[in-house]
Amino acid sequence: MGRNRRKIVFAWLAVLLIAMAGLAACGEKAPEQQAAGTGTDSGQQPAEQQPAASKEASAETRVVQDAYGDVTIPAHPQRVAAIYQEDFLLALGVTPIVQWYHPAWGKQDYLGLDVPPFDITGSMEALIAANPHLIIVDGGADKEKYEQYSKVAPTYKLPDELRNDTIGRLKKIADLLGIPEKADEAVKKYEQKMADTRAKLVKAIGKETVAVIRLNVGDKPTLALFGEGNVYTGVLYKELGLQPYEAAKNQDTHVVLSEEAIPSINAEHIIIFPSNGGWDSPENKEALKILQDPLWQSVPAVKKGHVYQMNRTHWQSGAIIANMMKADDLIYTFVK
């Protein structure tokens, strides 16, 4: 074989080897490309090319059902407005971004919150300025009000059946915030507090009856008897074992007492608090005169000095911290 012919053969062999190496390389990369989603048959974008919002959407929100239907809420909302439910947020270690306020009823001072007030009788401006991620309301918000809230942020209305269920409301709110474990901790503390208080109260006053009355301050002061099922004070009878005054039995709300009914109050103990302000508030000075009226002074418990003045802010709440504060008040009042 001539020298030139050998050169031609070697050249063709070199070309063949290079071609075979290229084919082998393509064969190795094909599975890798298919796994990355770049194959033309997959019909999907590579993961690194998908928008971040679409990748994380399912993790950021979830759909829950309230009284008005399905609501899409943040999975872990950071800025929460819980209208008149701020107590529950604090029990869960969460600070609300606004606090409920009503011109005639004030706000829940016992919470000691340093956040902007939200006047529920006014405009939505304060709420809009607070930029909530989630708004939680209860039965105090009708359909029209609910729709107004929903224009500000995703809004969830608590089920009506939880109105008198302190623990149920706490757990529901904790679930909405994505922190159910916090509810477990709070419930354990609460139940222990209620059990300890109940045992002490039963020992201290036994079957002696207790009436809870609110002094409604205003142009014409009145006295309202709270029923054993009242959302604010039902805890006394349901969880703390106190005996309701006869007229309070089978009553879920409260009734304004007529002048004729006042002398017939024969409960052995009376707990009383004003509807707004405190016992020393200047604006309540005129309203307090009703307690000097002969009708009130004729009540047996009044004559015996068995009337106990309480702070209205936590007595006008059925939330978890408020209930524990009531338990402390009752221990101080009845346990010697």
Dihedral of CA atoms 314, 315, 319, 320 in degrees, nearest 10, equals 70
CATH fit for domain 190-334, picks 3.40.50.1980, 3.30.160.100, 3.40.50.300, 1.10.3720.10: 3.40.50.1980
For residue 67, the model assigns a pLDDT of 86
Are residues 209 and 267 in contact, defined by beta-carbon separation less than 8 angstroms?
yes
pLDDT digits (tens, 9 = 90+) for 121-148: 999 999 999 999 999 999 889 999 999 9
Q: Is 92:179 a contact under the CB 8 Å cutoff?
A: yes
Amino acid at 255: V
CATH code of the domain made up of 56-178:
3.40.50.1980
| pLDDT score for 277 | 87
**Which segments in the chain show pLDDT lower than 50?**
1-58
Task: Please name the amino acid found at residue 102.
Answer: H
pLDDT at 251: 85
How do the domains of the chain map onto residue ranges?
A: 56-178, 190-334
Query: Which tens digits make up the pLDDT trace of 251-306?
Result: 888 999 999 999 999 999 999 999 988 999 998 999 999 999 999 999 999 999 99
pLDDT at 218: 81
Give the pLDDT confidence score for residue 72 in this predicted structure.
96
Domains 56-178 and 190-334 share a fold: yes
User: Token pair of 259, please?
Assistant: 């002048």
Within 13 Å of residue 312, how many CA atoms lie on the same side as its CB?
A: 19
* H or E stretch at 269: strand 269-274
What Rg do the C-alpha atoms of the chain give, in angstroms? 34
Cβ–Cβ < 8 Å for 312, 274? yes
> What DSSP assignment string belongs to 17-48?
HHHHHHHHHHHHHHHHHHHTT-STTT----GG
